[in-house]
Chain A
Amino acid sequence: MMKKYPLEFRVNGKKFSVEVRPNVTLLRLLRSLGFTEVKSGCEKGDCGTCAVLMDGEPVNSCLTLALQAQGKEITTVRGLGTMENLHPIQEAFVKHGAIQCGFCTPGMVITAKAFLDKNPNPTREEIREAISGNLCRCTGYQKIVDAIEAAAKKMRGAR
């Protein structure tokens, strides 16, 4: 039986101290801890539904071993905003009809957040490039691009 290793990390600001086996991915651990907003779509890095921020960088949590989150700060979409207090990116997604089935949405918002942090004034082409690792089967990406563009404008205005 495989040994368990201690893991201390933070998710959305809350500290977790757990024991995990090394062959568990961060995706699986997060979901077992209740962060079901982090999705499993392919578990191979092809679809982006598992995207989280790890120390601010967007990564596929399915390609990260849980133990690789040692000492790190993980942010999921629930860490960006709540239903009562949405992040401007989340608000823009709602307003622009960028959500249909919603399964790609958490990963998409995470990617968008990290992208706009680095590039606050992007072109539509740059937005498309930034979300090219997040697949969506419902929307054709159009309104997602509209939403990210609008959120960028709003966030620039607020600065």
Chain B
Amino acid sequence: MELKEFKVIGKRLPSHDSIEKVAGQTKYADDFGLPGMIYGKILRSKYPHARIKRVDTSKAEKLDGVYCVLTHKDVPHNAIVTRFGQTRAVGGFEGIFRVLAESKVRYYGEPIALVAAETEEIAERAIDLIEVDYEEMVGVFDQKEAMDPKAPQIEEGKSNVIARFKIRKGNVAKGFEEADVIVENEYMSQFIDHAYLEPEAGVAWVEDDGSITIRVSTQVIEHYREIAHVLGIPESRVRVITPKIGGGFGGKEDITVEYYLALLAWKTGRPVKIVQSREESLSFRSKRHPYKFRYKTGAKKDGRIVAVEAELISDAGAYMTLSPWVLLYSTVNAVGPYNIPNVKVDSYTVLTNHPPSGAYRTFGAGQACVAYEQQMDEVAKKLGMDPVEFRKKNYLRKGDTMANGVEVLNTVALSETTDRVLEALGPKPKPSGPKKLVGFGIASGMSSYGRMIFLHDTSRSKVRLELDGSVTIECGVQDVGAGQEASLCQIVSEVLGVPLKKIRIISGDTAATPIAGTTTATRQLYMSGNATLKAAMKVRENILNKASEILGADPAELIIEDEKIKKKDGESISLRDVAVACAEDGIELFCEAQFNAPFGEVPDPETGQGRVFPDFTFGTVGAIVEIDTETGEVEVKKIASAFDVGTAINPMRVEGQIEGGASMGIGWALSEDVKFEKGVAKAQSLAEYIVVTAVDIPDIKSIIVENHDGLGPFGARGVGEVVLTPVAPAVINAVADALGRRIKELPITGERILLAIKDQV
């Protein structure tokens, strides 16, 4: 767009929906109900690996107030093939998913039966009346152990290794020969929970025509297709609506309660509500994929890295779901934002008897960063080089080739972000007391925005100018609170000169809004933003053409501003009058536009060479920590976080993302751990699963760098995930600096620090 000076883009405007949220008017999934609504509950497995010998639901069915009890026998298509890609199914990684357990259970908490009853209380009592005879089986709870052919098989007759990827660039053997130093290390990343404040919830009902509608907190309304398939009905007869979501972070990307809602509503004919407890959410829902890493890096005396060999193994949990894709992200991101001539990566994802691991903000890129940024510090140490100088010697630049052979086409502002972070943090302070240690750590990282290009991603949005000059946007975006709706409003406001308070957006409804695609992969601003921009520009074109007729001027000479179309000499016409004129002449005042991401194909499986993502966002985080050597407690004293966001559509929202990412990353590094023991989660409530409170995090210095060459609208890049990617490694590196040694086990709790200091563990 040719506009040089933006009126709305780039301004710190409050999001349009913040007023309704702060006034307590927003109806999230559990805030909605219908007359005659009944309640659903889930009977879950008591063992992580067991055969089901017998399920007897008769006592539960007889309980007063129970409407139905369902098992897998009642599900038309219970075992389905996991299909990834919404509209383009990519072959090679089909996994089974079971809505309800059949002959065996594969994880503690796996759903076995569903109950619908008059009240939640009756439903809970009915759950306890269902009798299940289990025959316990030996389970496997470690991804490396599960790779052994002799380990218990999660899917009988099939290997637990469900996907593997390779990257081969150059010749690592030769690279290591040339190296002056070689550093080999193992790292890991732990089970983490999304811990959004809103637990999984939804309501489903049968419409007058017998079709099913589900109003559920979800990042992917397109699950309506899978739901239709499970029920054995046409896709057009399932509607999914998402209200505002109380936090997603990937945890509401997989189907959560939709299947259960649809089945119970369908069987009973009544509206059904399911709300999961925090205990269910923490114990049984998807988690961040844990990883085990082995990295070998070769570098020359002058600091140039010549070779990296890496092995990555993730714990997929009991079902495949998204694990191969998370693995691919980790693989493509494995060596980080560095220019390395020789790269060998082998990655594996393995089934175990844990709950199925799922999507979680950064989707495997953050775990890779935990490994590669720790490794960067270790190599710098071996070389006796400053960690910042070492990184600067190796940062990718425009024109370089990434590990998967892809040329970097636009700016990589890593040095700039690093310098800004160092400036913000200032010099490393002295310890505040004799028993304290201070550490300084940085980490650089990258995350893609836009989905994998072989998925042929598209997004649609519709912009409609009302006859009074106000605007309605219809777009299937799912709003998790990161401005998915608000950014679209700002874009339309800029293009059509309409104030934000006259713009209304309707979103997240498969029957009423154009499908915009998933709220995942940091793709919404890029995809639905571009689609909305395209639609708004078409409406603008029609308006300008009509206005030029009326005003007698070239459309190129007109500007739209403050709800008026103006000529250079000041003569103007109101937007409303032009709208009316268009309507009278049958000129379209709306446009539904589609934006296509670049389409590609799956990379070569033997070499991993080939573009996977449309683009990346890069940045650096720095942290200063202070450790109390007597109690092991770690305090993050300062944190600065800089990213090249291309163009910040709304700097206030971008800062909000950076700050939220910082708090999640600190938890990742220092305190969050689901603590599975033989497949059972020990952290069952937010008293045991430790996220940061307002007292555990300092003021965050957010630094926005803008090079305006992103692929999103107005040159924007996606930021939602990358703002988390380098945070944990920066904190981990700061702790290592303070202690003079590295603790590899995450999270680095006070216990691990105290044992390291006192017992040299």
Min CB gap B312→A, angstroms: 27
B149 contacts partner chain A, Cβ-Cβ < 8 Å:
no
The 0/1 profile, CB within 8 Å of A marked 1, for residues 9-29 of chain B is: 000101101111111111110
Contact B26 A102 (CB under 8 A): yes
Inter-chain contacts of A103 with B (CB < 8 A): 28, 196-198, 246-247, 481
A94 contacts partner chain B, Cβ-Cβ < 8 Å:
yes
Bound CA–CA A39/B670 (angstroms): 28
Bound CA–CA A42/B276 (angstroms): 10
Contact B197 A83 (CB under 8 A): no
Contact A137 B660 (CB under 8 A): yes
Task: Look across to chain B and name the residue whose beta carbon is closest to the beta carbon of A89.
Answer: B22
Task: Say which residue of B28, B244, B652, B686 sits within 8 Å of A97 (CB atoms).
Answer: B652
The 0/1 profile, CB within 8 Å of B marked 1, for residues 55-85 of chain A is: 0000000000000000000001110011100
Q: Which of B328-336, B491-499, B692-700 contacts A (4 or more CB under 8 A)?
A: B692-700
Which chain A residues (29-56) contact chain B, with CB distance < 8 Å?
Answer: 31, 36-37, 39-44, 46-47, 49
Bound CA–CA A109/B22 (angstroms): 8
B278 contacts partner chain A, Cβ-Cβ < 8 Å:
yes
Inter-chain contacts of B18 with A (CB < 8 A): 93-94, 97, 99, 102
Contact A42 B660 (CB under 8 A): no
B384 contacts partner chain A, Cβ-Cβ < 8 Å:
no
B439 contacts partner chain A, Cβ-Cβ < 8 Å:
no
- DSSP majority for the A interface? loop
Min CB gap A45→B, angstroms: 9
The 0/1 profile, CB within 8 Å of B marked 1, for residues 110-139 of chain A is: 000000000000001001110111111111
Inter-chain contacts of B342 with A (CB < 8 A): none
Inter-chain contacts of A144 with B (CB < 8 A): 694
A9 contacts partner chain B, Cβ-Cβ < 8 Å:
no
Contact A41 B482 (CB under 8 A): no
Contact B14 A78 (CB under 8 A): no
Task: Look across to chain B and name the residue whose beta carbon is closest to the beta carbon of A129.
Answer: B695
A86 contacts partner chain B, Cβ-Cβ < 8 Å:
yes
Inter-chain contacts of B222 with A (CB < 8 A): none
**16 additional A-B residue pairs with CB within 8 Å, beyond A101-B197, A101-B244, A140-B697:** A39-B198, A41-B198, A44-B687, A86-B19, A97-B14, A99-B18, A99-B21, A100-B482, A101-B198, A102-B17, A102-B26, A135-B691, A137-B247, A137-B660, A140-B663, A141-B697
Task: Say which residue of A31, A40, A99 sits within 8 Å of B22 (CB atoms).
Answer: A99
Bound CA–CA A97/B687 (angstroms): 28
B655 contacts partner chain A, Cβ-Cβ < 8 Å:
yes
B572 contacts partner chain A, Cβ-Cβ < 8 Å:
no
Contact A36 B31 (CB under 8 A): yes
Interface size on B, residues (CB 8 A): 56
The 0/1 profile, CB within 8 Å of B marked 1, for residues 5-29 of chain A is: 0000000000000000000000000
The 0/1 profile, CB within 8 Å of A marked 1, for residues 242-255 of chain B is: 00111111000000
Whether A137 contacts B656 in the complex (CB less than 8 A), given A78-B23, A94-B22, A101-B244, comes out as: no
Bound CA–CA A149/B45 (angstroms): 48
B305 contacts partner chain A, Cβ-Cβ < 8 Å:
no
A145 contacts partner chain B, Cβ-Cβ < 8 Å:
yes
Whether A90 contacts B247 in the complex (CB less than 8 A), given A95-B14, A128-B695, A131-B694, comes out as: no
The 0/1 profile, CB within 8 Å of A marked 1, for residues 271-310 of chain B is: 0000101100000000000000000000000000000000
Task: Say which residue of A46, A97, A132 sits within 8 Å of B656 (CB atoms).
Answer: A97
Bound CA–CA A44/B683 (angstroms): 14
Task: Look across to chain A and name the residue whose beta carbon is closest to the beta carbon of B686.
Answer: A46
- B-side interface residues toward A, CB under 8 Å? 12, 14-15, 17-28, 30-31, 194-199, 244-249, 275, 277-278, 480-482, 652-653, 655-656, 658-664, 685-687, 691, 693-695, 697, 699-700
Contact B700 A90 (CB under 8 A): no
Inter-chain contacts of A97 with B (CB < 8 A): 12, 14-15, 18, 652-653, 655-656
Task: Say which residue of B25, B662, B686, B697 sits within 8 Å of A37 (CB atoms).
Answer: B25
Task: Look across to chain A and name the residue whose beta carbon is closest to the beta carbon of B121.
Answer: A23
Task: Say which residue of A78, A94, A102, A145 sits within 8 Å of B246 (CB atoms).
Answer: A102
Bound CA–CA A147/B693 (angstroms): 17
Task: Look across to chain B and name the residue whose beta carbon is closest to the beta carbon of A44.
Answer: B685
Inter-chain contacts of A129 with B (CB < 8 A): 694-695
Contact B699 A142 (CB under 8 A): yes
Inter-chain contacts of B246 with A (CB < 8 A): 39, 101-103
Bound CA–CA A134/B481 (angstroms): 18
A152 contacts partner chain B, Cβ-Cβ < 8 Å:
no
- A-side interface residues toward B, CB under 8 Å? 31, 36-37, 39-44, 46-47, 49, 76-78, 81-83, 86, 90, 93-97, 99-106, 109, 124, 127-129, 131-145
Contact B660 A139 (CB under 8 A): yes
Bound CA–CA A134/B659 (angstroms): 17
Bound CA–CA A124/B700 (angstroms): 13
Min CB gap B564→A, angstroms: 27
Task: Say which residue of B22, B24, B244, B481 sits within 8 Å of A138 (CB atoms).
Answer: B481
Give 22 CB contacts A-B under 8 Å.
A41-B686, A44-B685, A44-B686, A46-B278, A86-B22, A93-B18, A93-B22, A97-B655, A101-B245, A101-B247, A101-B481, A102-B21, A102-B26, A102-B246, A106-B24, A135-B691, A136-B197, A137-B660, A140-B662, A142-B655, A142-B659, A144-B694
Task: Look across to chain B and name the residue whose beta carbon is closest to the beta carbon of A85.
Answer: B23
Whether A102 contacts B22 in the complex (CB less than 8 A), given A97-B12, A143-B656, A144-B694, comes out as: yes
Interface hub of A47, A82, A103, A127 (most chain B Cβ within 10 A)? A103
Bound CA–CA A131/B692 (angstroms): 12
Min CB gap B206→A, angstroms: 24
Inter-chain contacts of B662 with A (CB < 8 A): 140
Bound CA–CA A77/B699 (angstroms): 27
Task: Say which residue of B12, B17, B30, B694 sits within 8 Å of A132 (CB atoms).
Answer: B694
Task: Look across to chain A and name the residue whose beta carbon is closest to the beta carbon of B666.
Answer: A140
Bound CA–CA A82/B24 (angstroms): 9
Task: Look across to chain A and name the residue whose beta carbon is closest to the beta carbon of B246.
Answer: A103
Task: Say which residue of B278, B693, B694 sits within 8 Å of A41 (CB atoms).
Answer: B278
Task: Say which residue of A86, A127, A137 sits within 8 Å of B691 (CB atoms).
Answer: A137
Task: Look across to chain A and name the residue whose beta carbon is closest to the beta carbon of B278.
Answer: A42
Contact A139 B659 (CB under 8 A): yes
Contact B197 A143 (CB under 8 A): no
Bound CA–CA A103/B247 (angstroms): 8
Inter-chain contacts of A95 with B (CB < 8 A): 14
Min CB gap B331→A, angstroms: 28
Bound CA–CA A77/B21 (angstroms): 10
Contact B699 A139 (CB under 8 A): no
Task: Look across to chain B and name the residue whose beta carbon is closest to the beta carbon of A82.
Answer: B23
Inter-chain contacts of B194 with A (CB < 8 A): 137
Inter-chain contacts of A139 with B (CB < 8 A): 656, 659-660, 663
